[in-house]
């Protein structure tokens, strides 16, 4: 059936008994317009775009469609014969049931305000229409089709759509905004609770972004954020939704992933990609990224709980030295309280003068002569005793207390060096917070003047995190220090992204190769020794010395010597010494140290001491975890355990690891894990998966996030029955300071 002529659609009808127009007196006012007049009015309406018209036959096929709609559907030259109307007009943006127009027509009832869009034509010319129609009956009262009108609402709809988009997305980066992320997290967690699925939430914070804003300006900061958004999309690679919460804070929601090994790899990829240098109109700059990860339902079952967990993990990663990721753990609550208390105690310790310096020798391999001493911070606290540097320095950096502590250390080190032989330098590490603090170079100049130390005897170690800051500020600071006559060493070279072109023009006197470069070298599977040799040759070409830190074994030292490294630090020569020990060594004349693997010069092994649970058959034991690696552990506290016994180790917080006993030594067992542990982002290890709170809920327990204690519902033991003999930590076992037996 072809399209009905337009004039036939709108022929005037006579009511019963009405006379034809020709029979009426000419002088009389016409009761109706004639067909031509009506047709003209309708065509004017269509041309003006005020309203368009459509009609179908009884089968729903198009019998008439205004030209503007026909053109938008790309049918101007193709015709409309036998096409159903619903094939040309569909629900807007695919929302709702695509059959909705067909259903409207199928009911044979009048309808209005149906929002549709044209399909099949050029997307740029696509129309959004508000459609209305009514059924048409023939003379016999039978249904013969539909007639209706369409109003063009494209512009209004697109404006509302854009307003809605702006309400949902960040205008600078195009990422979801805080409002949309809140909605998505709420909706995802609600749906996933019903289907017992997991979801991971990443909280991201950019490191050193404020420096870019302050030095290069907000325009550069905006460009940087846009590039960060692009890199984030590449790193996440469609696995989840990314949002910008404001400023330099971002969020990533990844559904259906709770494997902490995989999530850790995603976090590492994000950190690596965001830490690469950026190019903006004002110059080059580098930033970093810290990541906190929480997983539902393990760490939270609603948005508030999960977000708080991810925030705590982010805070822990930033305080751990930045450029790290951390998984949420229940003990982070306790750790956060301890960190706040440590901040307060650090401030008091500065006032009370509780800090001292120790010095680790830097030994020239040509004759084993001590040529420099590296200052190391020491904090003796009344309650804590000697506090490990790796424990308080991250807190000091995060709270900016490192600035006054660093100034004190600089002054004290220069004062001590004044009493040393002139051939002996003093070396001091400088953190990014110190370097970029206001007046850092001026403070160095003041201390040198006060102590009257030759600037050439002061060596400042700068990590790659410093030189990856704002290029202008870095160049200005390095140039000013060089002008003072201070020696500059690039620390941990080879572990970051320093460009060779920058290295060629930077005023460094020496490169210090990162200890992490040496750790995998003993097997030499990857040709690491050849790479170290290449770094040494590069430094020589640039007129720089080379040193290696973290050398703790004679075998490693023997392999480094032939490569031409100038100086070495590590337990193979000496641990850090207090000022009295330094004075005694210097009093003996020329200071040389013979390398050795013996005595207290050997590197201390990192040993873990903490209580964990062991599940075997129907018994639950508490044992001491003494050593931990990816593949196994040493546990102490059970006797009469045969080799081959299978245990389930409960590390707390839903972390269970199936393990087999491989070695037995009295009340100590060496066990091997069925599945290797994975990084927790802070140098520790965690299980890939955890006991699901959904499984615990199925067993009759309330659905809630996991705590730090033993697995709910795990078997218990009263010490009687067929289980193993349980002992507390043996009296002969080594203990950490303050650890109860």
In order, the DSSP letters of 365-425 are TTTTEEEEEEEEEEEEETTTEEEPHHHHHHHHHHTTTHHHHHHHHHHHHHHHHTTS-TT-E
* Mean pLDDT of the residues in the chain: 81
Cβ neighbours of residue 381 closer than 8 Å, sequence gap 6 or more:
345, 349, 354, 387
Give the pLDDT score at 10.
46
Question: In the chain, what's the furthest Cα-to-Cα distance?
Answer: 139
Tokens of 310: 């991810």
> Helix, strand or coil for residue 301?
coil
Beta pairing partners, 579: none
Give the pLDDT score at 526.
45
Q: Cα separation of 412 and 659, whole Å?
A: 51
Q: Cα separation of 608 and 488, whole Å?
A: 37
Q: For the whole prediction, is pTM greater than 0.75?
A: no
Query: Per-residue pLDDT tens for 413-458?
Result: 999 999 999 999 999 999 888 998 889 999 999 999 999 999 999 9
- Asked if 562 and 573 touch (Cβ cutoff 8 Å), the reply is no
Report residue 286's pLDDT band, with 50, 70 and 90 as the boundaries. Answer: confident
What value does the CA radius of gyration of the chain take, rounded to a whole number of Å? 38
Model confidence at 378: pLDDT above 60? yes
Report residue 496's pLDDT band, with 50, 70 and 90 as the boundaries. Answer: low
Residue 588 DSSP class = T
Residue 496 DSSP class = S
Exposed / middle / buried, residue 331 (Cβ in 10 Å: 0-12, 13-18, 19+):
middle
Q: Which of 69-73, 422-426, 435-439, 699-703 has the highest mean pLDDT?
A: 422-426
Which range (311-325, 448-462, 476-490, 493-507) has the least confidence? 493-507
The predicted model gives 175-185 an average pLDDT of 92
Q: Cα separation of 187 and 183, whole Å?
A: 6
Q: Give 332 or 150, the one with higher predicted confidence.
A: 150
Quick count: other Cβ atoms within 10 Å of Cβ 715?
A: 14
Kindly give the pairing relationship between strand 369-381 and strand 425-430. parallel
CA distances from 610 to 386, 637, 652, 673, 728 (A): 20, 12, 11, 18, 12
Residue 31 DSSP class = S
Give the pLDDT score at 675.
92
- Asked if 71 and 49 touch (Cβ cutoff 8 Å), the reply is no
- Asked if 185 and 296 touch (Cβ cutoff 8 Å), the reply is no
C-alpha closest to that of 727 among 607, 640, 618: 640
Give the pLDDT score at 184.
92
Report residue 75's pLDDT band, with 50, 70 and 90 as the boundaries. Answer: confident
Model confidence at 518: pLDDT above 70? no
Q: Cα separation of 71 and 124, whole Å?
A: 12
Q: Cα separation of 184 and 174, whole Å?
A: 16
Give the pLDDT score at 558.
87
Report residue 18's pLDDT band, with 50, 70 and 90 as the boundaries. Answer: very low
Q: Cα separation of 737 and 325, whole Å?
A: 29
Give the pLDDT score at 317.
87
Q: Cα separation of 371 and 554, whole Å?
A: 20
The predicted model gives 583-587 an average pLDDT of 90
Tokens of 200: 């991971």
| Exposure b/e, 372-396, CB count within 10 A at least 16 = b | bbbbbbbbebeeeeebeeeebbbbb
Residue 245 DSSP class = E
Q: Cα separation of 391 and 387, whole Å?
A: 7
C-alpha closest to that of 293 among 702, 682, 695, 628: 682
| Exposure b/e, 209-238, CB count within 10 A at least 16 = b | bebbbebbeeebbebbbebbbebbeebbee
Beta pairing partners, 161: none
- Asked if 39 and 9 touch (Cβ cutoff 8 Å), the reply is no
C-alpha closest to that of 567 among 597, 529, 593: 593
Tokens of 676: 């290797």
Q: Give 548 or 528, the one with higher predicted confidence.
A: 548
Q: Which of 117-121, 378-382, 658-662 has the highest mean pLDDT?
A: 658-662
- Asked if 580 and 416 touch (Cβ cutoff 8 Å), the reply is no
**How many residues in the chain?**
741
Angle at 490 between CA 486 and CA 491, to 5 degrees: 120
Report residue 198's pLDDT band, with 50, 70 and 90 as the boundaries. Answer: very high
Number of helices followed by number of strands (H, E) in the chain: 22, 32
Quick count: other Cβ atoms within 10 Å of Cβ 155?
A: 9
> Helix, strand or coil for residue 458?
strand
Give the pLDDT score at 1.
43
- Domains annotated on the chain, with CATH: 6-13+31-160 (3.30.450.20), 169-329 (3.30.70.270), 352-601 (3.20.20.450), 610-726 (2.40.10)
Give the pLDDT score at 703.
76
Q: Cα separation of 399 and 315, whole Å?
A: 12
Q: Give 513 or 167, the one with higher predicted confidence.
A: 513
């Amino acid at each position: 059936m072809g399209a009905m002529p337009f004039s036939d659609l709108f022929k005037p009808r006579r009511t019963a008994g009405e006379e034809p127009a020709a029979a009426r007196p000419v002088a009389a006012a016409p009761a109706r317009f004639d067909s031509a007049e009506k047709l003209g009015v309708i065509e004017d309406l269509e041309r003006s775009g005020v309203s368009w018209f459509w009609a179908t036959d009884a089968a729903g096929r198009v019998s008439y469609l205004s030209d503007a709609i026909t053109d938008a559907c790309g049918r101007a030259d193709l015709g409309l014969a036998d096409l159903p109307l619903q094939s040309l007009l569909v629900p807007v943006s695919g929302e709702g049931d695509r059959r909705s127009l067909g259903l409207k027509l199928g009911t044979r009832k009048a309808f209005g305000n149906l929002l549709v869009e044209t399909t099949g034509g050029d997307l740029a010319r696509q129309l959004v229409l508000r459609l209305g129609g009514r059924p048409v009956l023939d003379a016999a009262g039978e249904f013969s089709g539909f007639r209706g009108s369409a109003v063009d609402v494209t512009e209004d709809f697109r404006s509302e759509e854009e307003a809605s988009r702006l309400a949902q997305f960040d205008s600078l980066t195009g990422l979801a905004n805080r409002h949309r992320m809140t909605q998505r997290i709420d909706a995802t967690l609600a749906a996933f609770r019903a289907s017992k699925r997991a979801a991971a939430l990443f909280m991201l914070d950019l490191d050193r972004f404020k420096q870019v804003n302050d030095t290069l300006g907000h325009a550069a900061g905006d460009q940087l954020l846009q590039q960060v958004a692009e890199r984030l999309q590449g790193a996440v690679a469609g696995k989840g939704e990314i949002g910008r919460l404001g400023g330099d804070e971002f969020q990533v929601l990844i559904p259906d992933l709770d494997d902490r090994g995989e999530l850790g790899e995603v976090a590492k990829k994000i950190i690596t990609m965001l830490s690469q240098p950026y190019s903006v109109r004002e110059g080059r700059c580098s930033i970093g990224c810290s990541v906190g990860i929480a997983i539902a339902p393990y760490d939270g079952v609603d948005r508030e709980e999960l977000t708080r967990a991810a925030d705590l993990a982010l805070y822990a990663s930033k305080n751990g030295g930045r450029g790290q990721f951390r998984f949420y753990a229940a003990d982070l609550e306790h750790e956060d309280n301890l960190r706040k208390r440590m901040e307060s105690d650090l401030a008091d310790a500065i006032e009370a003068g509780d800090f001292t310096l120790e010095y680790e020798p830097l030994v020239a391999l040509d004759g084993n002569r001590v040529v420099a001493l590296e200052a190391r911070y020491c904090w003796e606290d009344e309650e804590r005793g000697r506090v490990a540097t790796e424990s308080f320095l991250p807190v000091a950096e995060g709270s900016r207390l490192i600035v006054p502590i660093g100034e004190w250390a600089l002054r004290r080190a220069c004062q001590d060096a004044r009493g040393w032989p002139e051939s002996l330098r003093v070396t001091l590490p400088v953190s990014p917070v110190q370097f970029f603090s206001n007046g850092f170079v001026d403070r160095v100049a003041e201390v040198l003047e006060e102590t009257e130390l030759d600037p050439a005897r002061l060596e400042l170690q700068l990590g790659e995190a410093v030189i990856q800051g704002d290029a202008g500020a870095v160049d200005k600071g390095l140039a000013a220090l060089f002008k003072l006559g201070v020696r500059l060493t690039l620390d941990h070279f080879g572990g970051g992204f320093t460009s060779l072109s920058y290295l060629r023009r930077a005023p460094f006197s020496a490169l210090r190769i990162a200890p992490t470069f040496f750790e995998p070298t003993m097997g030499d599977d990857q040709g690491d020794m050849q790479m170290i040799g290449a770094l040494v040759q590069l430094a020589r070409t640039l007129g720089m010395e080379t040193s290696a830190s973290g050398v703790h074994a004679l075998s490693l030292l023997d392999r480094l010597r032939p490569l031409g490294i100038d100086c070495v630090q590590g337990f193979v020569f000496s641990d850090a010494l207090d000022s009295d020990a330094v004075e005694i060594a210097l009093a003996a004349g020329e200071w040389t140290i013979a390398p050795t693997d013996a005595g207290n010069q050997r590197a201390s092994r990192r040993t873990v001491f903490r209580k964990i649970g062991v599940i075997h058959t129907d018994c639950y034991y508490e044992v001491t975890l003494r050593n931990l690696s990816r593949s196994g552990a040493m546990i102490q506290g059970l006797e009469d355990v045969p080799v081959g016994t299978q245990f389930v180790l409960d590390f707390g917080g839903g972390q269970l690891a199936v393990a087999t006993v491989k070695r037995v030594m009295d009340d100590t067992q060496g066990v091997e894990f069925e599945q290797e542990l994975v990084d927790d982002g802070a140098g520790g290890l965690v299980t890939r998966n955890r006991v699901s709170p959904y499984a615990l809920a199925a067993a009759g327990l309330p659905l809630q996030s996991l705590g730090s204690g033993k697995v709910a519902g795990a078997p218990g033991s009263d010490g009687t029955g067929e289980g193993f003999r349980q002992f507390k930590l043996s009296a002969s076992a080594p203990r950490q300071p303050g650890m109860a037996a």
